[in-house]
Amino acid sequence: YKSPANKFKSPVLSFKFSINGKDNEMASGRDHQFVCRPVNGAAETPLIKFGEQLVDKTPVAEGLYLNPGTKLKVRLDMRHVFEAFTRQGYYTTPNGDKIYKDDFKGVFIAGGSAPMIWDFNNLVNHPELELKDPDGDKIFETILNMNDAKDEKTTAPVWKLSKDISRFPQYKSDYALSDALYNLSIEEMENSIEPDGTFRTGKEWSGVWTRDISYSIILSMAVLHPEVAVNSLMRKVKDGRIIQDTGTGGAYPVSSDRMVWAIAAWEVYKVTGDKNWLNQAYAIIKKSAEDDMVNIYDTETGLFKGESSFLDWREQTYPRWLQPADIYESECLGTNAVHYQVYKVLSEMAGLLNDKASVTKFNKTATGIKQGIEKYLWLNDKGYYGQYLYGRINKTVSPRAEALGEALSVLFDIPSAERQKQVVESAPTGDYGTPCIYPQIPGIPPYHNNAVWPFVESYWALAGAKAGNEQSVLKSISAIYRPAALFLTNKENFVASDGDYAGTQINSSNMLWSLSGNIAMVYKVLFGMHYK
């Protein structure tokens, strides 16, 4: 597959500068904007002062694209930063961070057009994105090769099974494509196991992430690799509590979906029946839940605060004006669906472990969450739930659909059986699958916005199957199989509007939760395998 994306690159470039590889130049949602119009293959930005937004208002004619091989010289004025270092020993960034003189390591450029990336934490691994000041005048510069031919996106022309997967369940049908995709996904699963016995998140994502591993385990990894699943889950435990992945505001409590770990741990127990694991997991989940009751529980609504589960890139799913404190105050569908199921799981675990007093307490909390979701998030005119409650004084519900949250609400029996069918019938889908959110946010490049994530589509397929909607299930399977077959790997995401993997801000092959969802289509949808 050869992506056509490079032929249609916009000349409007959005970017930010970054001291020490952190998102610290301007507030979230405020980016520089420059219209790249090369002359003889080269272009140059005006001198941009760190922290002062450049907005290039040059009109762009329809059909004008970024010329291939453009050399863009970027110039950054850091004189005021170094004057502050000299005067007081530190510089205060526009977003309030203090950077001390001795801590200054370098300045980078981040952005949405290759070779730029928006992954701030990974900027230090891209020397071409570091600006230099060889003459010491505190004017930092770099030259970027824009729309370079080497950046043209292609995938492997062929895939052949290269690992022995005979010890895993074999799947053969009348459809060669689905057989091959099952084998490809099993092989990529094996590729994902690290030497330390944990799952790697993706080809481009090292390590274990709480939400990624948990959603993957629920889909199919508990069945195929329960020991690796447990190893991975325990990698995300510290001081007897579940670790929150990174997100808005750094991590917990602005991001609060770590508790999906509990549902994954329960899935492992249902598969293995391991009582030692049950005891160990129960203690961890209970202690983590106690922290949540102090830090993020809203007694008025019965809901938990914190940004949407997995949708952790601020302006991708939230209004630009919202600050991390506002996102902490939001009460989201997906995150609360997770918390609801966590308390159902805790109740089940408490019953099995004869902690009878806790059974009633946990069930009461679960009931409160369910009632809160129904009262505050249900959109009667839409036939599905709103994305989240948000606002500073009087909260309002965002009318956007949020695919993962809608799917989880159905799978966890939050709405009635009748409403479950209504959610599946009513929630928006697109030509290439079910977008993470709908409608899209104008002016925000694809990642969570204007994107389909195969693992989310997998949960949507399971929800469709539970609601008995065959048409929805077939569409979801198609949305999972098409990109895997076309790209010959289980990609992290792709653009909702055109189905191309090359247009999203960050992407990875061999993505654990994507391959887990692909396998789940066989086990949980085609064969209806569910552990009780």
Contact 296, 256 (CB under 8 A): yes
| Co-location of 119 and 143 in the same domain | yes
Q: Phi and psi at residue 116, in whole multiples of 5°?
A: -65, 150
Q: What percent of the chain has pLDDT over 90?
A: 86
Query: Is the residue at 462 inside a domain?
Result: yes
Q: Are strands 107-111 and 451-452 parallel, antiparallel or unpaired?
A: unpaired
The 8-class DSSP code of residue 12 comes to: E
Give the CA distances from residue 431 to residues 3, 203, 471, 497, 499, in Å, rounded to whole numbers and listed in that order: 18, 27, 14, 8, 8
Whether 341 maps to a domain, the answer reads yes
What pLDDT, on the 0 to 100 scale, is given for residue 315?
84
**DSSP helix/strand/coil, 402:** strand
Look at 60-69, 99-108, 138-147 and tell me which has the smallest mean pLDDT: 60-69
pLDDT at residue 165, as a whole number: 98
Note whether 406 and 319 are same-domain residues: yes
| Residues 255, 132 share a domain | no
Given a contact cutoff of 8 angstroms between Cβ atoms, the answer to whether 238 and 311 are in contact is no
Predicted pLDDT at 3:
84
pLDDT of residue 8: 81
Query: Is 222 within a domain?
Result: no
**What are the φ and ψ backbone dihedral angles of 295, each rounded to 5 degrees?**
-95, -30
Where does a domain end: 113, 135, 151? 151
Confidence (pLDDT) at 239: 97
Specify the DSSP element, H or E, that contains 451. Answer: strand 451-452
User: Is the domain of 438 the same as that of 419?
Assistant: no
Residues 6+ apart with CB under 8 A from 400: 386, 387, 437, 438, 439
Prediction pTM value: 0.84
Residues 293 and 183 in one domain: no
Residue 213, domain member (yes or no): no
Q: Which residue has the tokens 């993505």?
A: 511
Which pLDDT band, with edges at 50, 70 and 90, does 257 fall under?
very high
Q: What is the pLDDT of residue 112?
A: 86
Model confidence at 152: pLDDT above 70: no
Print the domain residue range for 304.
Answer: 236-427
Q: What is the pLDDT of residue 499?
A: 96
Structural tokens at position 237: 């435990």
Would residue 267 count as lying in a domain? yes
- Last residue of one domain, picked from the residues 384, 404, 427: 427
Q: Are residues 403 and 263 in the same domain?
A: yes
Task: Identify the CATH number of the domain in which residue 267 sits.
Answer: 1.50.10.10
pLDDT tens column, 356-403: 999 999 999 999 999 999 999 999 999 999 999 999 889 999 999 999
With 80 as the cut, is the pLDDT of residue 174 above it?
yes
pLDDT band at 150 (very low <50, low <70, confident <90, very high): low
For residue 198, what are the β-bridge partners?
none
Contact at 8 Å (CB) between 480 and 457? Answer: yes
* 388 shares its domain with 477: no
Which whole number is the average pLDDT over 69-98?
94
List, in order, residues 6 or more apart from 170 with CB less than 8 Å away.
none
What does the pLDDT average to over 35-63?
95
443 and 360 in one domain? no
**CA–CA distance, 303 with 332 (Å, rounded to integer):** 8
Is 272 in contact with 265 (CB distance < 8 Å)?
no
Q: Is residue 231 part of a domain?
A: no
Q: Which tokens is 512 given? A: 């654990």
Q: Are residues 530 and 392 in the same domain?
A: no
pLDDT band at 304 (very low <50, low <70, confident <90, very high): very high
Tell me whether residue 336 is in a domain.
Answer: yes
**Quick one: 434 and 422 in the same domain?**
no
Instruction: Residue 396: count other Cβ atoms within 10 Å of its Cβ.
Output: 11
pLDDT on residue 248: 79
State how far the Cα of 72 lies from the Cα of 113, in Å rounded to an integer: 12
Report the chain's mean pLDDT, rounded to a whole number.
95
pLDDT digits (tens, 9 = 90+) for 477-503: 999 999 999 999 999 999 999 999 988
Higher model confidence: residue 99 or residue 6?
Answer: 99
Q: Which of 427, 460, 488 is the last residue of a domain?
A: 427
Verify that 323 and 418 share a domain, yes or no: yes
What whole-number distance in Å separates Cα of residue 199 and Cα of residue 206?
9
pLDDT band at 153, cuts 50/70/90? confident
Question: What's 309's DSSP letter?
Answer: T
In the chain, the number of structural domains is 3
Q: Is residue 304 part of a domain?
A: yes
pLDDT grade, residue 293 (50/70/90)? very high
Q: Are residues 284 and 375 in the same domain?
A: yes
Note the pLDDT tens digit of each residue in 93-119: 887 889 999 999 999 999 988 899 888
